[in-house]
Amino acid sequence: MKRVLMTLLLLLPLASQSKTLTDSLQRQVNVPDNPQRIVIGESRMIYTLALVEDGNPAKRVVGWPADLRNLDKQTWDRYVKAFPAIGNITQIGNSNFSQLNVEKIIALQPDLVILPVYARTPPNNSLFMQQLQAANIPVLFLDFRVDPLANTVASLRTLGAALNDEAKSERFIAFYQQHMQRIRDRLANWHGSRPKVMLQLHLGKKAECCTQWRMAIWRI
């Protein structure tokens, strides 16, 4: 009995070194506590990391694709100027998530990989995911773009929990919810005409083939 108790006591620290989180695909993912080596499927996720990380928002990132540099160079240049180490992060693909190089990801020995929800469908059946699972690398899918009204708060809360920055993420969540409620209240009390608004992604970014122009007419 004494030997069993000693074994359980030895295992307690190991159990505290990981946590189970629910990602945006409702997957239960066991992630290490306070991971220090992270790969992200979009470098534009730096916008969100800045909400939960102090100082350099990419200080834990060891690999990402080149989408931020290619699609938002102004932001890229400002971040690199403020935090020069960002310019040395390993590139694991170009601007498209489908170009992520799994061999480069595994070679970086990350504690955690964070991907946007549209990166792999269905995730558990892809060779990409099978290779990461075989390497014992946990993967979280978060959503700030596909259905942001439904998933932003949950995704930010999961990110904060994954990075042990719950307090900072909750402060932004409170700010976000306060302003979203203000919009809902104003819309609920508005009885005049509602203008049509056109949204267009990457306006003027590419004039050549083959960019799909995405536009939507919203009735506000």
Query: Locate tokens 């020069």: which residue?
Result: 84
Q: How high is the pLDDT of residue 99?
A: 78
- Residue 4 token pair: 């069993």
Q: How high is the pLDDT of residue 128?
A: 87
Burial tier of 70 (Cβ tally within 10 Å: 0-12, 13-18, 19+): middle
Q: How high is the pLDDT of residue 203?
A: 63
- Residue 132 token pair: 């990461």
Burial tier of 197 (Cβ tally within 10 Å: 0-12, 13-18, 19+): exposed
DSSP string computed for 9-41: HHHHHHHTTEEEEE-TT--EEEEESS-S-EEES
Q: Which residues contact 143 (CB under 8 A, 6 or more apart)?
A: 24, 116, 117, 151, 152, 155
Containing H/E element for 131? Answer: helix 127-134
At residue 193, the 3 state secondary structure works out as coil
Q: How high is the pLDDT of residue 214?
A: 45
Q: How high is the pLDDT of residue 198?
A: 74
Q: Model-level pTM?
A: 0.80
Q: How high is the pLDDT of residue 197?
A: 78
Residues in the chain: 220
pLDDT of the chain along its 220 residues, tens only? 555 445 544 444 444 488 999 999 999 999 999 999 999 999 999 999 999 998 999 999 999 999 999 988 999 999 999 999 999 999 998 876 777 889 999 999 999 999 998 765 544 457 888 899 999 999 999 999 888 889 999 999 999 999 999 999 999 999 999 999 999 998 888 888 887 877 766 666 555 544 444 444 444 3
Q: How high is the pLDDT of residue 215?
A: 43
- Taken in order of first residue, the domains within the chain and their CATH numbers are 17-187 (3.40.50.1980)
Q: How high is the pLDDT of residue 207?
A: 55
